[in-house]
């Protein structure tokens, strides 16, 4: 049973979004996603300043056997990336919601934030997709 913190929002691509006090959002991948990917060996983050539309591939997470795109859950411009990941990509596996955060975005469209799922909806989504 994967962890789904109550205070976060979620996308159907298994990203979480945390709204910060200053209006920016921090983005990462969920516990379900990190377990599915396996041990990460590399995380490719974008350059600060790059602008993404919702759904654009903005990050690549690499395990030994696969490289997966992480998609921008909302449109935004990239303000910061988690520099600790270049030496310790395993932070994403060990602490997907805290130390393993990926990027911070300044969202461009408030409405998109409302389209994200809350913790209950995401938990139900996970239960339904499990075959």
Q: State the residues that interact with another protein by CB under 8 A.
A: 39, 41-42, 44, 47, 62-67, 89-90
Neighbours of 88 (CB within 10 A): 15
Helix (H, G, I), strand (E, B) or coil at 127: helix
* Distance (Å, whole) CA 62 – CA 100: 14
Neighbours of 22 (CB within 10 A): 8
Q: How far is the CB of 60 from another protein (least distance, A)?
A: 8
Residue closer to another protein by CB (options 7, 86) is 86
Residue closer to another protein by CB (options 42, 115) is 42
Residue closer to another protein by CB (options 35, 41) is 41
The answer to whether residues 76 and 20 touch, using CB atoms and an 8 Å cutoff, is no
Q: How far is the CB of 38 from another protein (least distance, A)?
A: 8
Q: How far is the CB of 21 from another protein (least distance, A)?
A: 32
């Amino acid at each position: 049973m994967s962890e789904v913190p109550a205070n976060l929002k979620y996308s159907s691509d298994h990203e979480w979004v945390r709204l910060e006090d200053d209006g920016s959002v921090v983005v990462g991948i969920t516990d379900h996603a990190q377990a599915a990917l396996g041990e990460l060996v590399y995380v490719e983050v974008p350059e600060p300043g790059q602008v993404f539309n919702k759904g654009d591939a903005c990050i690549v997470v690499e395990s030994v056997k696969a490289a997966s795109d992480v998609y921008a859950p909302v449109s935004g411009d990239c303000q910061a990336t988690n520099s600790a990941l270049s030496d310790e990509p395993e932070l994403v596996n060990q602490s997907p919601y805290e130390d393993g955060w990926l990027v911070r975005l300044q969202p461009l469209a408030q409405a998109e934030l409302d389209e994200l799922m809350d913790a209950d909806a995401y938990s139900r989504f996970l239960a339904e997709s499990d075959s």
